[in-house]
Amino acid sequence: MDAIVIDKLSKTHRPAWPWQQAVTTLHEVSLSVGYGEIFGFLGPNGAGKTTTMKIVLGLMRATTGTVELLGRPALDVDVHKSIGYLPESPYFYDYLTAEEFLWFYGRLGQVNPSDLQQRIPTLLAQVGLTEARYRPLRKFSKGMLQRIGLAQALIHDPQLVMLDEPMSGLDPVGRKDVRDIILGLRDQGKTIFFSTHIISDVEMICDRVGILAKGRMVTVGSMDELVNRNVAQSVEVICEGIDGESIPLVKEVAMRVLQRGNRCWMALPGQQRLEEVLAAVRQAGGRLVSIIPHKGSLEEIFLERTSQRT
């Protein structure tokens, strides 16, 4: 059993007036997230990431399809006791102080007052807001709001944490802090589902990744699988003392050849014919300067997959 099971989720927004067209923002999205995983939900702006998360949390109703959280149907609000959620660019009650704010969300999450009393200072320290404990949220900066939002999502010690663009609007230090918190949560055995359109966040910490584009799931898989299976790796070869264009094999195999004086730069599509090419170069009297293998990045997959749909 997985922590999140999304099965063929579709969302068609009913138009306000009969003459308007219905807009479908999700097309049979399916994915599952195992217990203890960090799942990165990737997609360009407007792909439907937030919509999916809202349906998972019961903020929106799906047109068709089902969602199960922690083995129970997502429509049962009791399951929310074990779920923490940080929405995208969150706004909070700015008339509350940090402590009151966490107290309120803790009570809503059915945490007893005595537990809350202990948990609030710990959590504030964890997100780096100990100083701001008695300050009203009105006086918080954007980064501080993001941090207190994260604290709010964790106040009831949830099993599953859903974070919508948790790193947006943060400076590099803030991003690192959030990353550390997420990794720390995984160490405690929590499941983390977060969405982002920034690839480096995902590459560094995710166990598994799903890519959404135009309301459709493009790819789901572990980082290793995705990167190795899906990306044609390229190899850069630089030689001296030859004219690359004059060697027939190079002309046939290389994707690009650049000649500068007697130095030749070529890009090969993979390692399969590397030895052949090197042999041909040596035969022509060339000297090898360097070989640089390029491992495909998530970014390339992302760009490739999302652009296929446009």
Largest CA distance in the chain: 80
Shortest Cβ 136–another protein spacing (Å): 9
Residue 93 Cβ vs another protein, minimum distance, rounded to whole Å: 6
Q: Based on CB atoms, which residue is closest to another protein, 161 or 280?
A: 161
Q: Which one, 112 or 118, has the nearer CB to another protein?
A: 112
CB of 204 to another protein, least distance (A): 26
Q: Which is nearer to another protein, 95 or 122 (CB)?
A: 95
Complex with another protein: residue 60 or 291, whichever CB lies closer: 60
Interface residue list for another protein (CB under 8 A): 13, 54, 57-61, 75, 77-81, 83-87, 90-93, 95-96, 100, 104-105, 107-110, 149, 152-153, 162
Please work out, in degrees rounded to the nearest 5, the angle formed at the alpha carbon of residue 245 by the alpha carbons of 241 and 248: 105
The CA distance from 59 to 64, in Å, is 15
**From the CB of 184, what's the least distance to another protein, in Å?**
21
Task: Please report how close the Cβ of residue 94 comes to another protein at its closest, in angstroms.
Answer: 9
Q: Write down the least CB distance from residue 74 to another protein, Å.
A: 11
Q: Establish how many alpha carbons lie within 13 A of residue 176's alpha carbon, considering only the half-sphere containing its beta carbon.
A: 3
Q: How far apart are CA 3 and CA 72, in angstroms?
A: 9
Q: Which is nearer to another protein, 22 or 77 (CB)?
A: 77
Closest of 162, 152, 153 to residue 69, by C-alpha: 162
Residue nearer to another protein on the CB measure, 105 or 302: 105
